[in-house]
């Protein structure tokens, strides 16, 4: 980094708050503040936790001998902003009001308000970097064969873009100059085609599309699922749970722990081997499909997320897609690092900082004959 700015980064989750501080390229500290059910139970809604979680961050800073005045900028994971283009948004009162009033009842909406509250105390800027609802899909990628059901972009945007930028840098280019396919495999799984700085196509992590994941079902044949829904033996909550929490590896093998699955495979468990390789196989197929979306002009392929620390898994994928483009592996996630790097780009003028308007980047199809969204 051009200058050793000190950046505080934040990511509020359902039962914890991740906070980190970086000075230049160096991590000063990274913490995951756990919140008990008793603590969370004191609040009727997620938005009511704003002041309390803000104080939790202040306490964590103090525990590491830091003060707000030491921070040059505040940056983080900011849910509830609705579909926008990717990039850096300045967090202001309008952004905070929007996520509190219009966002879901989930602590992720507190990212912008907490960062804003902290920044206001010391007169420093606060930024939302590649916020989670980023939607840059091309119209052609939104169409499905079910009238009124359209694809949207719910993806690990922050880590997707951060690792794509790292891949571009390794290739001696800027993110806006390359075509990259990124596969993030953690608890959820997202594969996206990045075309010169925009994610033009991806699966939808929240709605259940794409390869199956450690604990999500991914694409499945529809009619058998419809039959399950209407046979009177399963309710909506149960079916939704398999789609988003208990499907994938967890449903098929009883665990979503890649290390445990590796041990079972080494011990001769053939079913574990087939299932684990099937997930890798589906990721490889998705990468191949997005190569077609990029017309075969692919500069690099990135494998990231926690499961990408597993050589067995990445080797299986690499064997099938290395002919497309060079493969870069960044195991784990770099969301906090991505927030810090984005803040530095904003402070140095390396990337334009946008003003949040609340206007969605996609409002549905407006062309004649278009079927309204279901």
Q: Mind listing the pLDDT tens digit for each residue in 126-159? A: 999 999 999 999 999 999 999 999 999 999 999 9
Quick one: 374 exposed, middle or buried, by C-beta within 10 A (0-12, 13-18, 19+)? Answer: exposed
> Do 213 and 207 contact (CB within 8 A), yes or no?
no
What is the arrangement of strands in the sheet containing 126-129, beginning at the earlier edge strand?
26-34, 16-23, 6-12, 73-76, 126-129, 88-90, 353-355
pLDDT, residue 3, reads 66
Kindly list the distances between the CA atom of residue 347 and the CA atoms of 72, 88, 161, 341, in Å, as whole numbers in the listed order.
Answer: 9, 11, 19, 10
Provide DSSP, 200-262.
EEE--TTTT-SS--SS---S--HHHHHHHHTSSS--HHHHHHIIIII-HHHHHHS---HHHHH
Angstrom distance (rounded) from CA 126 to CA 92: 8
Q: Which residues of the chain are modeled with pLDDT < 50?
A: 1-2
Count Cβ atoms below 10 Å from residue 326 Cβ, excluding itself: 13
pLDDT, residue 360, reads 95
Kindly list the distances between the CA atom of residue 53 and the CA atoms of 59, 64, 108, 285, 316, in Å, as whole numbers in the listed order.
Answer: 10, 17, 12, 42, 42
Alpha-carbon dihedral sign for residues 152, 154, 158, 163: negative
Provide DSSP, 148-175.
T------S-HHHHHHHHHHHHHHTTS-G
H-helix segments, the chain: 37-40, 50-63, 93-102, 111-122, 157-170, 222-229, 236-241, 248-253, 258-266, 270-293, 311-321, 335-348
Count Cβ atoms below 10 Å from residue 136 Cβ, excluding itself: 23
Residue in this structure with the two tokens 């990468």, named with its chain if needed: 287
Contacts of 45 (CB under 8 A, 6+ apart): 105
Q: Please write the tens of the pLDDT for every residue from 264-274.
A: 999 999 999 99
Q: Look up the pTM and report it.
A: 0.95
> Do 33 and 19 contact (CB within 8 A), yes or no?
yes
Angstrom distance (rounded) from CA 304 to CA 309: 8
Residue 323's SS3 state is coil
Kindly list the distances between the CA atom of residue 204 and the CA atoms of 69, 190, 209, 213, 315, in Å, as whole numbers in the listed order.
Answer: 40, 7, 5, 12, 25
pLDDT, residue 25, reads 87
């Amino acid at each position: 980094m051009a200058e050793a700015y000190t950046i505080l980064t934040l990511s509020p989750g359902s039962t914890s708050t991740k906070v980190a501080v970086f000075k230049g390229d160096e991590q000063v500290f990274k913490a995951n503040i756990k919140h008990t059910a008793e603590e969370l139970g004191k609040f009727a809604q997620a938005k009511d936790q704003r002041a309390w979680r803000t104080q939790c961050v202040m306490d964590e800073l103090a525990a590491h001998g830091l003060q707000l005045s030491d921070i040059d900028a505040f940056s983080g994971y900011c849910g509830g902003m609705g579909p926008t283009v990717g990039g850096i948004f300045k967090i202001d009162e309008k952004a905070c009001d929007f996520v509190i009033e219009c966002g879901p009842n989930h602590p992720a909406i507190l990212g912008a308000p907490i960062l804003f509250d902290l920044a206001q105390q010391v007169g420093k800027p606060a930024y939302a970097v590649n916020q989670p609802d980023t939607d840059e899909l091309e119209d052609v990628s939104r169409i499905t064969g079910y009238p009124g059901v359209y694809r949207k972009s719910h993806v690990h945007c922050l880590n997707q873009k951060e690792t794509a930028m790292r891949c571009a840098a390794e290739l001696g280019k800027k993110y806006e100059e390359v075509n990259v396919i990124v596969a993030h495999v953690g608890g959820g799984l997202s594969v996206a085609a990045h075309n010169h700085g925009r994610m033009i196509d991806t699966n939808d992590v929240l709605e259940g599309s794409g390869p199956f994941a450690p604990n999500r079902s991914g694409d499945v044949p529809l009619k058998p699922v419809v039959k399950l829904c209407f046979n009177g033996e399963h309710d909506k909550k149960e079916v939704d749970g398999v789609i988003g929490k208990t499907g994938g590896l967890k449903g098929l093998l009883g665990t979503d722990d890649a290390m445990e699955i590796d041990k079972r495979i080494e011990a001769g468990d053939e079913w574990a081997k087939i299932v684990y390789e099937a997930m890798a196989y589906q990721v490889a197929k998705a990468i191949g499909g997005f190569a077609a979306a990029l017309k075969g002009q692919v500069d690099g392929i990135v494998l990231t997320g926690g499961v990408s620390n597993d050589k067995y898994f990445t080797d299986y994928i690499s064997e099938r897609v290395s002919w497309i483009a060079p493969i870069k592996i960044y195991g784990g996630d770099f969301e906090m690092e991505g927030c810090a790097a984005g803040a530095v780009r904003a402070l140095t003028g390396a990337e334009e900082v946008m003003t949040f308007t609340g206007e969605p980047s996609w409002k549905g199809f407006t062309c004649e004959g278009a079927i309204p969204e279901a």
